[in-house]
Amino acid sequence: MSTYVLVPGMCHGSWCFDDLTVSLRAAGHHVLALTLTGVAERAHLLPGGVNLDTHITDVLAAIDNDSAADDELILVGHSYGGMVITGTADRIPDRVDSLVFLDAVVPHDGEACWDLVNDEERRWYVAVDDTGFGVPPMPFFDDRATAHPLATVLQPLRLRGGLSRFRQRVFVYALDWPGDSPLLPSYERVRHDPTWNVHELDGRHNLMRDKPEEVLHILLEVSAQ
């Protein structure tokens, strides 16, 4: 049994992993699917004071308070969640086995999510809601999606070590974008690196919903290898 920690992208809650969570548990694994502070059903929690460090602390607290979580964690981050799993792994490297970037940003020390995406994505970030703190959900997002705290995509991530410390680094790239993918810079960063396992799926950005069987297969491979 492995413990999978599932971290959503912007504006989404743990519910975006519902089907994947059921499938991983059916395969005998423990799953922590998280909703981050200031988002979705936790949108009421002071979004103006929420930054990237807050979200990393969310994940660390969830792990520490789960008695069933083992010491060979597999962290899975979707989209913006790549920032969060990288920061989390850096804080508890002895507990993390592998990282899976599910069409997600792959940051280096000193980089913010803002630095890793294209101009179209940045224009979305700064088209804030009436509070001035929230990035509004896209019209095609799930009805449960809410505004996302702007500071989380602007704060640089500070790291003490590199990702090579972890047994496996996996990147899953979504090919079906309506235009240029904002995750292309992160994909290019790892696609030719022989120490990474890189996959391309002919699906839309929310791969866990659009290509559930393929994503499940990739995640189970991480545990099996």
- pLDDT, tens digit, for every residue of 67-88? 888 879 999 999 999 999 999 9
CATH label of the domain that carries residue 45: 3.40.50.1820
Residue 10 has pLDDT above 70, yes or no: yes
* C-alpha–C-alpha distance, residues 72 and 52, integer Å: 24
Residue 45 has pLDDT above 60, yes or no: no
What's the domain count of the chain? 1
Q: 188 is in which domain, residue-wise?
A: 3-224
Residue 120 has pLDDT above 90, yes or no: yes
Confidence of residue 121 (pLDDT cuts 50, 70, 90): very high
Residue 156 has pLDDT above 70, yes or no: yes
Catalogue the active-site residues: 79
**Looking at residues 163-173, what average pLDDT do you find?**
97
- Beta-bridged to residue 172, according to DSSP, are 102, 199
pTM metric for this prediction: 0.95
Residue 34 has pLDDT above 80, yes or no: yes
Residue 20 has pLDDT above 80, yes or no: yes
What pLDDT, in 10s, does the model give residues 184-224?
Answer: 999 999 999 999 999 999 999 999 999 999 999 999 999 98
**Looking at residues 60-64, what average pLDDT do you find?**
96
Q: For 105-111, which contacts have Cβ atoms below 8 Å and span 24 or more sequence positions?
A: 105/79, 105/80, 105/183, 105/186, 106/82, 106/163, 106/171, 106/186, 106/189, 106/190, 107/82, 107/83, 107/157, 107/159, 108/159, 109/157, 109/158, 109/159, 110/156, 110/157, 110/158, 111/156, 111/157
What pLDDT, in 10s, does the model give residues 93-107?
Answer: 999 999 999 999 999
Whether 196 and 221 have beta carbons less than 8 Å apart is answered as: no
**pLDDT (0 to 100) of residue 44:** 64
- What is the H or E stretch that residue 121 is in? helix 119-126
CA–CA distances in Å: residue 19 to residues 62, 71, 152, 184, 202: 20, 25, 27, 26, 19
* C-alpha–C-alpha distance, residues 54 and 52, integer Å: 5
**pLDDT (0 to 100) of residue 1:** 85
Residue 58 has pLDDT above 90, yes or no: yes
**pLDDT (0 to 100) of residue 224:** 86
**Looking at residues 58-71, what average pLDDT do you find?**
92
Tokens of 225: 């290898």
